[in-house]
Amino acid sequence: MGQNNSNPQPGDLIEIDRRVCQHWALYTGNGYVIHVTDEGAHSSSGTITSVWAAMVKVKKELLTKVAGNDKWRVNNKYDRSRTPRPVKEIIRRAERWVGREVPYDVPWKNCEHFVTKLRYEVELYEQDKESSSDGAAAAIGAIVAGAVAVAVMILSRI
């Protein structure tokens, strides 16, 4: 099970350390999070992981299941510059999304965008705030990695 040093509260953003990138979820209480996943979603390919799917499904699942063996932490990093919605409103809005499919795109509509929209009323992503070459390089890297994943998928079907 993933390690954690904090006690999440309803409405908190949960950052899960994955091998390739971070996964984000919204803590709703009683051990549950709401997050996006390609499990159960109609994707343009059936074989790509949640990072590259064109559509993802919003699910409510136990944090322990979503995190698995990966480390996770509460990370409300945008609280420094944004005021969160009231907790009851965050949870109410999040619950409305459960079971729906939403578009997903690594640099433009990712899991962090989804949960920050619920907490702050605006989609935020670390690269959105960075004007440095590191932020640009990360965004370009994500786009290139997505293109490579699609190319590999197409070539493997030939």
Domains and CATH numbers, the chain: 13-157 (3.90.1720.10)
Q: What is the pTM of this model?
A: 0.71
pLDDT at 49: 46
pLDDT for 20 = 83
Query: Are the C-beta atoms of 78 and 120 separated by less than 8 Å?
Result: yes
- Give yes or no for a contact between 26 and 37, defined as CB atoms under 8 angstroms apart: no
Catalytic residue positions? 23, 111
Place of tokens 């992981």: 49
pLDDT tens for the chain, residues 1 to 158: 555 657 999 999 999 999 888 999 999 999 999 999 988 655 544 333 444 558 999 999 999 999 999 999 999 999 999 999 999 999 999 999 999 999 988 777 889 999 999 999 877 666 444 333 344 444 455 555 555 444 434 444 45
